[in-house]
Amino acid sequence: MTHSSRVAVYRVIPQSAIVGEEFGTTGAAYAEPKFRIGVRWEGPRVIVSATCGDSCDGGGGPRFELGEMFFTSRLKWLCLGRGRT
């Protein structure tokens, strides 16, 4: 069984959110429960996040991550037939 929980708190920092996540697995494919907390900035076409996390028992060592997503406009030439805009 896999478990995961996420939360985002908006309106603390303009155009940003304070984010948190907890995840892990149980059973034969056991993975130690871990957590992350950080900040996510959201623009019209770009989302950038910085998070820091650790295992829930503190034995895994802290991890720092940077992430980004860039959204392009729809590629009309990939649409088959008469695509509607």
Cα 80 from Cα 73, distance rounded (Å): 17
- Per-residue pLDDT at 31: 80
Q: Which pLDDT tens digit goes with each residue over 5-50?
A: 999 999 888 889 999 999 888 888 888 888 889 999 988 889 999 9
* Residue in the structure block whose two tokens are 């295992």: 55
pTM reported for the whole predicted model: 0.66
How many CB atoms are closer than 10 A to CB 17? 19
Distant-in-sequence, close-in-space partners of 10: CB < 8 Å, separation ≥ 6: 16, 17
